[in-house]
Structure 1
């Protein structure tokens, strides 16, 4: 069974080389050690090396955390179509009841595809574009009243960060613990 290893390096001014602290865990055993690592770059200030097991589990956790917003939002829209339609209408969009259902399904299903890791490159791209568009329409802080500007800008920037995360998922894929990886290995 694979273990978890985390290696953190930083430069040592007095040695002219970097020092590397290595921890690893296999089963119930934990070990830690120090060793010298070669200084490869004079601008180098630190590096974290991660093994494949760590990357696998962290990619699942990252996908889950990114998807949670979409799953909860989609479910909320689908369980309150009338309220969601009213909010959509306030943005000046046509057919608010239809859009409420479509957007609710899109968010819910898009979030679920992220969790299981199915077609995440396309889902990440679609969710990123959707998030940017929704932010411009519903969180346009540049036109918000002064008393709402701070919170509206905060929501807009949070959504831009989520869109950035979705673009990373789109670029990097789901990782080894995913339906995509399982289908690719066949």
Structure 2
């Protein structure tokens, strides 16, 4: 049961990151406009392309269970700074602070999930495990 829960956790986490990558690609210009609203004006194309790369590669690696620690680090490199920039509830007016603080805490929970993956690994159902347990027939070695 633990192995299935590990797999489902990876699938749900990766789905979020892969969707975010898709959304950033599909709405590239709108995403750049949002970056400008939050004061991220330095080399937007490079930053957005780098974010999309981290989201896609990290999300796919997480989904298939290959090098989950590296994938989690990729996603943390993206997610931690974005969380502190976008959901900085302490800089918002008092009526909005509660709502934005909830979003901030949700993102911190996702960061916690990625840290758990770094500590626990990919689990039994992963490409890494499949490669480690598959034997190549003698005639193909």
Give 4+ residue runs of structure 1 displaced > 6 Å after superposition. Answer: none
* Cα distance between partner residues in 2 of 1:148 and 1:100: 27
Q: Greater relative contact order: 1 or 2 (C-alpha under 8 angstroms, separation 6 or more)? A: 2
Cα offsets for 1:107-161 (capped at 9, x unmatched)? 1221111111011011112313432211111111011122321221111100000
Q: Distance in 2 between matches of 1:184 and 1:143?
A: 49
Q: Which has the larger radius of gyration?
A: 1
Say which structure is richer in helix. 2
Query: Does structure 1 residue 125 correspond to structure 2 residue 76?
Result: no
1:56 CA drift (Å): 1.6
Q: What is residue 93 of structure 2 aligned with on the other side? A: 145
C-alpha distance in structure 1 between counterparts of 2:133 and 2:111, whole Å: 29
Higher strand share: 1
Matches within 5 A, 1:30-69: 54-69=1-16
TM-score between both structures, scaled by the size of structure 2: 0.86
Equivalent residues of 2:54, 2:78 under 8 A apart: no
Backbone CA RMSD of aligned residues: 1.5
C-alpha distance in 1 between matches for 2:102 and 2:15: 19
The answer for unaligned runs of 5 or more in structure 1 is: 1-53
